[in-house]
Amino acid sequence: MAPGAVPDDAEGRVPSRTQSVTRSVNLLQYLEHHHDAGVTELAEHLGVSPSTAHRLARTLFDVGLVGQDHRTERYHLGPALIPLGRAAEARSGFDLLRPDLEELAEVTGESVNLGVQQGASVLVVLRVASPQPLRFDQEPGALVPAHASAMGKVLLAFSPPATRPRPARLASFTPATIVDPEVLAAELDVVRARGWALNDEERNVGVRALAVPVLDGRGDAVAAVAVQGPTLRITDDRLADLTALAMDRAVVMARHLAGRFS
């Protein structure tokens, strides 16, 4: 069964409203990362029967959240999501931060991301790509495991301890990935004390990233800003300068978001 899937009731009973909502969200998230999908594919991903997947897709289709190609009968994200996404972006104020990210990318020469916490992951909200031909980019909408991300470690470190996810184990991606929750907890203490985090080839070999928090009035992170690139450019002797540039820009971003998160 796919991660996050909610199985059909073993006795064939009608799923609860909570299950239906969870499955609907999972369906939309799947379509976010796939061009389109048929009923069988959706059923396999959700861990439900084809008839249940068809019912969910048709319900979302009826309200415009999902569209369908009538030639292939495959489903895709629907037009009703466009105004919802624009309204959410406007409400968050993150659209105001793009000029700051562009400036940071220009002065560092590296790719810059803005991310927010989504459970045990980081959701990439905005990205400005480096002009360098050798670069590492994460598309907006990408979900990255927080423990293997500079942005993730910043978001966890600058969040109330009670809200931090506590997984029993952490997935490994490279030899440098932190897989011990106790080691991660100690790392988060260091991150909070110094004000920034480093991803040193913990997600992808040959890629380094540093991140700083965008803080609200309580000192909690509402977002994180990362500067990332190949290890041959994000060298130890550049870390201090890159971190200072990112911190200065994060302070400006916090001012732009003042009052939106309270």
Where are the chain's structural domains?
A: 17-79, 91-257
pLDDT beyond 90 at 45: yes
What is the Cα 241 distance to its own chain's centre? 26
**End-to-end CA gap in the chain:** 38
Question: Crossing angle of helices 181-194/150-157, nearest 10°?
Answer: 80
Q: State pLDDT tens for residues 165-190.
A: 787 789 999 999 999 999 999 999 99
Rg (CA), the chain: 20
What pLDDT is recorded for position 16? Answer: 62
Q: Are 208 and 198 in contact (CB under 8 A)?
A: yes
CB 246 within 8 A of CB 211: yes
Residue 227: CA atoms inside 13 Å, Cβ hemisphere, count? 30
Query: Distance between CA 32 and CA 62 in Å, rounded?
Result: 18
- What percent of the chain has a predicted confidence (pLDDT) above 90? 65
Identify the pLDDT of residue 3: 45
The pLDDT of 224-228, averaged and rounded, is 97
Give me the mean pLDDT over the 89-98 stretch.
77
Same topology between domain 17-79 and domain 91-257: no
Phi/psi of residue 115, each to 5°? -135, 160
- Tokens read off for 76: 């895709």
The chain-wide mean pLDDT, for the chain, equals: 88
Options 3.30.450.40, 3.30.1360.200, 3.40.1440.10, 3.40.50.300; which CATH number does 91-257 get? 3.30.450.40
Quick one: pLDDT at residue 15? 52
CATH topology of domain 17-79: Arc Repressor Mutant, subunit A (1.10.10)
Cα–Cα distance for residue pair 232/244, rounded to 1 Å = 20
Beta strands (DSSP E) in the chain are: 66-69, 74-77, 111-118, 121-128, 143-145, 197-200, 207-215, 221-230
- Share of residues in the chain with pLDDT > 70 (%): 90
| Model confidence pTM above 0.85 | no
Position 164 confidence tier, pLDDT thresholds 50, 70, 90: confident
What pLDDT is attached to residue 259? 67
